[in-house]
Structure 1
Amino acid sequence: MSKVERLGKLIGRWFTLLVVLWAAFNYAVPQASLWLVPNISYLLGIILFGMGLTLKIDDFERIAKKPLPVIAGTVAHYVIMPTLAWVLCLIFQLKGATAAGVILVGSCPSGTSSSVMAYLSGGDVALDVSIETLSTLLAPVALPGLLLLFAGKYIDIPTASLFLSTVKIVLFPIILGVVLHSIFGKKIEKVTHTLPLVSQVAILMIVGAVIAANHDNLFTAATALVIPVVILHNLSGYGLGYLFSKMIQLHDPQRKAITFEVGMQDSSLGATLAIKYFVPAAAIPSTIFSIWHNISGSILASYWRTKSSSEPKSVKTNFSKA
């Protein structure tokens, strides 16, 4: 095992704590990451390019061979999380950019850290990765459409620009990664062991940039309700995701995968689009979500692992994102 791979595994083990500490540091010293704010989209592109490099044509064939659980999980994700975000905005009477930010993170595709949580909990990692892939590929259409539906009354939604940006930020890096993997095969696989470290560093840089950009507005009366809203959003997503998977009579490992796929969001994408198209305050829900869902996901995965006697199914996952 190389030094880079060992470092990636070490950081992965303590990643949640590192995110919290790095966020606190950038709140205390915002100048440290302000220079990164204009480059957030490039950092996210690096993460998604790494995701593409880990995908093979076999991954898409797996979706085609067993589409029903994948489609069900993806539909559940894009129905439950945006609707929950909208309902919570109504209940807590959130307005403007703050409400739009909550709905934005709720409309994002699922986060790849869910695959780690599914693995740790003994869930169906192959199903998790398949849902994650499909939800990400659908993001250019789903995200602007859901924002227009649920957040249009809070803020102007540049639907066409969001679509084009999501294609550029999300689809292009993933497709490029898949193409390179298909062309170079095992030569690419030799470097994929470095991807966890690259992704983790990029995530930390995004978190730092968003904290720095929102330093003056992070803890104000206007955003005081964001933390409980984000926590309720994430936990309710887990609960409804699990109930949905139970209702359609999936097996326990599949229930775990769908629970994480529904409740965990690609908050890095949410923060990136908020900074680019709205005001910095709209990125606050995504930033808090990024920190919180890693904490809650780790706790839930640990609980399920201790309750289950089955071993986690091993599927190769070489990327991680908040």
Structure 2
Amino acid sequence: MAEPVKTEQPGQPPAAGRSSEDRSARIAVTVFPVIIIAAFLIGFLFPTQTAPLAQYTSIALGVIMFAMGITLTIPDFALVIKRPLPILLGVIAQYVLMPAVAVALVFVFQLPPELAVGVILVGCAPGGTSSNVITYLAKGDVALSVTMTSVSTLLAPIFTPLLTLWLAGTLLPVDAGSMAMSIVQMVLIPIVAGLLVRWLLRSWVEKVLPLLPWVSVLGISYVVIAVVSGSADRIVEAGLLVLAVVILHNGLGYLLGYFAARVFKYPERVARTTSVEVGMQNSGLAATLAAAHFSPVAALPAAVFSVWHNISGGLLALFFRYRSARQEKHDLEVQKAHSNAQ
């Protein structure tokens, strides 16, 4: 779900008339936690029947990334030139803060190697594909969010395997070269293909844009079913521990992303955007990489993250909207008091 709504200008509120693409994206994000929980339960309750799905998770992720590529346009990347500093902050925070938090949690909770690698891999993943819609619902800067997600995703073939090798290489063998090639095949090539399709078949693509959020929802649900089916036994044993680590990882990402932007004196909307971008990870990519290069158990943290970060993202958006409403009410009261004083 790379681009939930078009803005009139980068960083400006959405246009008055919400497009069908916007409505579809908002509905998809609203029901996404329910669908992903159902996928989690299917994989857990029917592991034998759903285990064969694991061999096609890379294809499912490629479809998700292709859909993301179709939603992107040239102005999304032009924002890198127009507003490089907040984008640079967001990308650096993504690939510094989240891996650092992951390593700290692995140390504090003394996780076994397979789960530890899975948590670190989630921390080293790029921004989540649903972060743009959450940013919109949180009244953040949608154009900035789209660009941050796009840039961090395109950098993933470099940073994700190198960071995983550096931070997790002592826990389990990490083939950074093979992982980088997997990311190129599952992420980079599908995104570029999607961009080309958007450019060559623009009129046709406009008709199918409302369906693309559902492609992402179904694709990630497929990955979750496949991953959970391969680690159903360990969920019973370590499920609560993994959930606690995931909740802390995600929550600290939100907080650190928000305050990183505020430290550099960026406005509230940029801080909200950075918070969402840093806190929400591409857990579908992390799960697929973990299952392919390590084990189904290593993919468990990413599967749990897929469920949790979409629930927490919706709650965070509600919190930010509540703050906006209070601020607007306060400003209105100040204006009335000022008018009465005159």
Normalised TM-score (structure 2): 0.86
Provide the rounded CA distance (Å) in 1 between the counterparts of 2:179 and 2:66. Answer: 19
Q: Which runs of 5+ in 1 are unaligned?
A: 312-322
Give 2:261's aligned residue. Answer: 245
Give 1:304's aligned residue. Answer: 320
Give 1:136's aligned residue. Answer: 153
| Residue from 300, 308, 325 that aligns with 1:292 | 308
Q: 5 Å matches for 1:66-105?
A: 66-105=83-122
Provide the rounded CA distance (Å) in 2 between the counterparts of 1:50 and 1:11. Answer: 14
1:249–1:10 CA distance, 2 compared to 1 (3 A): closer
Structure with more contact order per residue of length (Cα contacts < 8 Å, sep ≥ 6): 1
Question: Contact (CA 8 Å) 2:25, 2:133: kept in 1 or not?
Answer: no
Q: Which runs of 5+ in 2 are unaligned?
A: 1-17, 329-342
Deviation per CA, 1:116-143: give whole Å up to 9, x if none.
1110010001111111000000000000
Question: Contact (CA 8 Å) 1:57, 1:182: kept in 2 or not?
Answer: no
| Residue from 288, 298, 301 that aligns with 1:272 | 288
1:216–1:299 CA distance, 2 compared to 1 (3 A): same
Instruction: In structure 1, give the amino acid aligned to 2:78.
Output: E
| Residue from 169, 172, 175 that aligns with 1:158 | 175
Give 1:114's aligned residue. Answer: 131
Q: Is residue 56 of structure 2 the alignment partner of residue 39 of structure 1?
A: yes
Per-residue deviation at 1:303?
Answer: 1.1
Question: Contact (CA 8 Å) 2:250, 2:280: kept in 1 or not?
Answer: yes
Deviation per CA, 1:160-193: give whole Å up to 9, x if none.
1011111111100000111121122222222222
- Largest Rg, 1 or 2: 2
Give 1:145's aligned residue. Answer: 162
Per-residue deviation at 1:290?
Answer: 0.7
Report the 3-state secondary structure (helix = DSSP H, G, I; strand = E; otherwise coil) of the residue aligned with 2:235.
coil
Normalised TM-score (structure 1): 0.91
Q: Percent identity?
A: 41
Greater Cα offset, 302-311 or 266-275: 302-311
Per-residue deviation at 1:33?
Answer: 2.4
Q: Is residue 313 of structure 2 the alignment partner of residue 260 of structure 1?
A: no
Question: Contact (CA 8 Å) 1:107, 1:143: kept in 2 or not?
Answer: yes
Report the 3-state secondary structure (helix = DSSP H, G, I; strand = E; otherwise coil) of the residue aligned with 1:280.
coil
Provide the rounded CA distance (Å) in 1 between the counterparts of 2:127 and 2:158. Answer: 15
Per-residue deviation at 1:224?
Answer: 4.7
Give 1:229's aligned residue. Answer: 245
Deviation per CA, 1:266-291: give whole Å up to 9, x if none.
00000000110101110011011111
Per-residue deviation at 1:22?
Answer: 2.6
Provide the rounded CA distance (Å) in 1 between the counterparts of 2:92 and 2:26. Answer: 32
Provide the rounded CA distance (Å) in 1 between the counterparts of 2:28 and 2:76. Answer: 27
Instruction: In structure 1, give the amino acid aligned to 2:116.
Output: A
Instruction: In structure 2, give the amino acid aligned to 1:300.
Output: L
Per-residue deviation at 1:100?
Answer: 0.5
Question: Contact (CA 8 Å) 2:79, 2:144: kept in 1 or not?
Answer: no
1:81–1:175 CA distance, 2 compared to 1 (3 A): same
| Residue from 216, 234, 239 that aligns with 1:217 | 234
Per-residue deviation at 1:99?
Answer: 0.6
Provide the rounded CA distance (Å) in 1 between the counterparts of 2:253 and 2:25. Answer: 29
Report the 3-state secondary structure (helix = DSSP H, G, I; strand = E; otherwise coil) of the residue aligned with 1:188.
helix
Instruction: In structure 2, give the amino acid aligned to 1:124.
Output: D
Q: Is residue 260 of structure 2 the alignment partner of residue 204 of structure 1?
A: no
Instruction: In structure 2, give the amino acid aligned to 1:197.
Output: W
Q: Is residue 297 of structure 2 the alignment partner of residue 281 of structure 1?
A: yes
Question: Contact (CA 8 Å) 1:5, 1:194: kept in 2 or not?
Answer: no
- Displaced runs of 4 or more, over 3 A: 1-12
Q: 5 Å matches for 1:53-72?
A: 53-72=70-89
1:4–1:83 CA distance, 2 compared to 1 (3 A): closer
Provide the rounded CA distance (Å) in 2 between the counterparts of 1:34 and 1:28. Answer: 11
Question: Contact (CA 8 Å) 1:5, 1:197: kept in 2 or not?
Answer: no
1:4–1:67 CA distance, 2 compared to 1 (3 A): closer
1:184–1:289 CA distance, 2 compared to 1 (3 A): same
Instruction: In structure 2, give the amino acid aligned to 1:268.
Output: G
Report the 3-state secondary structure (helix = DSSP H, G, I; strand = E; otherwise coil) of the residue aligned with 1:50.
helix
Per-residue deviation at 1:21?
Answer: 2.6
